[in-house]
Chains A and B, each alone.
Chain A
């Protein structure tokens, strides 16, 4: 056993990381494929069940019956349901979600345009939420029942109970109108909008790629308010979960053992207890991130943020079924992706899950 070279050990560890408990990478891939297939089936059925006639949505309700029938045939709606599904899956696998009636663009192009906006907002929101939420939760747990705990609870309660559109409007009123600390709605000032080369679609990245620092700070001052607002909601949730995970860990025997060793409270809390708290917390953070990635309709509306939530809602209100289904598939795929990521992180953080 002791003759195993360091290189070999590392290799084995990495291999263990990829293969789950009692499973292999093949199992992960096949489970993703099955989940994705199920997702397509459900979105397809929803599209057919909804009392929206896609033909009327396309031709309008004044069209003659001949035109109606022709378009219906073009859309493939005269085929049996299973054939329609087959065609749908085939198209999706080729990246074809159909055309949006509203924008008369392929849905995939639309999503490629709106998703980065949501991705940017959700990612920044989650980063702020984690950076502030985890320490807040730890603080509340360590001072359980004392004033920091109560303060965090009240702060969190406001986060849950106040509607986001009110907070958004108040935020704009105070920080944009009165104090002028941040920029208003939109992703950058309208004046700049045409100068940016959409390489990745992420404003913060694209402006840096262009090497335009002024534009970068302009984008920052636009995103910071809506991102903080989303962060507040995930923060309230992350802090509450961190607090309860932390309390559970602090009563464990290994914490007592760490105290016996004479370690500092700081090290006991932030190294020993938090190391164990991170294991369940990763799942909580991942779910909260996935929720933000769906796009928050209200936040995107208030801040005129052209993201996924706004896109799907507009499409739905205009009976633009291709766009709605395409958006739904993307949201589902994002959930699958984030879940896989959290699974991987879980294995990284918990040695017991690596075998």
Chain B
């Protein structure tokens, strides 16, 4: 999309040691990311979320990350100290998670949580930070930002909570945003509103976006490029506009499972898996 490369990932692998032996969640994922919107699609357990977390160094403590290359602009993400990670997280790479019901701290006010995200990376007073936070709440189209600012997470709806989450994660102005199933916990009617707000902000601020979802349709309408993951591998990489031309049988299978308005009304086909797909 653009000549400038923001993030390069080469041969990323994430594995977990469990009592039942090692689990390889991500097995050799490679991609380049410019200032564009990249979708990662796959079913649950395909390793798409773990790919996102590995980029932020937030793999669970029983997991190990290996990669031939993981370069974010001038930063090598492979061996950062905790202190260096804290400079990257929030300020340069941020993430929106699935369900605001669980990803917001229930005993802190929304305002405090947003202010905290801002002040961690900007040396400003409470007043200035409050002002910025209210502005940010307005930017995610919350009608009564003053009230929401003082509310606790349980006092707002799911769609509102996810907008708060977007405000909180975008307030330090990161260069890359990872959105991990940002609308999966929301009502269908609210999903598109939240996606539209997110899309606007990403465009306005010229951020790069990694949009992780199981929803092929949603991803293809909001992204430039799509990676299709299956059992820890990328099985296909394709431009969103050319999704209909997908070659890999897994992608084709997924596409065939989507109902079409003008198509015939026979039963939708069931995805027939083949063992060979798992060996990218």
Contacts and interface: CB of A to CB of B under 8 A. Distances in A.
B184 interface: no
Contacts of A2: 144, 146-147
Interface stretch (A20-28, A93-101, A271-279): A271-279
Interface string B74-95: 0000000010011111110011
A179 interface: no
Interface string B30-62: 000000000000000000000000001010000
B245 interface: no
A263 B147 contact: no
Contacts of B58: 256, 259-260
B270 interface: no
Interface string B117-153: 1001100000000000000000000001011001010
Interface stretch (B9-17, B100-108, B227-235): B100-108
Contacts of B86: 262-264
Contacts of B121: 262
Interface in B162-192: 165, 168-169, 172
A2 B137 CA distance: 15
A9 B150 CA distance: 11
A62 interface: no
Contacts of A260: 56, 58, 89-90, 94-95, 97, 169
A265 B103 contact: no
B106 A254 contact: yes
A265 B82 CA distance: 9
Contacts of A50: none
Given A256-B58, A261-B117, A261-B168, A349 B104 contact: no
Interface residues of A, number: 24
A5 interface: no
Contacts of B56: 259-260
Interface in A208-266: 252-254, 256-265
Contacts of B106: 254, 276, 350-352
B94 to A, nearest CB: 6
Interface in A58-84: none
B116 interface: yes
Most buried by B among A256, A260, A263, A265: A260
B239 interface: no
Contacts of B108: 272, 275
Nearest to A6: B150
Contacts of A1: 144, 147
A276 B153 CA distance: 13
Nearest to B91: A262
Contacts of A258: 105
Contacts of B82: 265
A257 B104 contact: yes
Given A262-B87, A265-B82, A257 B103 contact: yes
Nearest to A256: B58
Nearest to B168: A261
A271 to B, nearest CB: 8
Contacts of A256: 58, 97, 103
Nearest to B102: A253
Interface of B: 56, 58, 82, 85-91, 94-95, 97-99, 102-108, 116-117, 120-121, 144, 146-147, 150, 152, 154-155, 165, 168-169, 172
The 5 closest A-B pairs by CB, nearest first: A262-B90, A253-B102, A262-B89, A351-B152, A261-B90
Interface of A: 1-2, 9, 252-254, 256-265, 272, 275-276, 279, 349-352
5 contacts: A256-B103, A257-B165, A258-B105, A259-B89, A262-B121
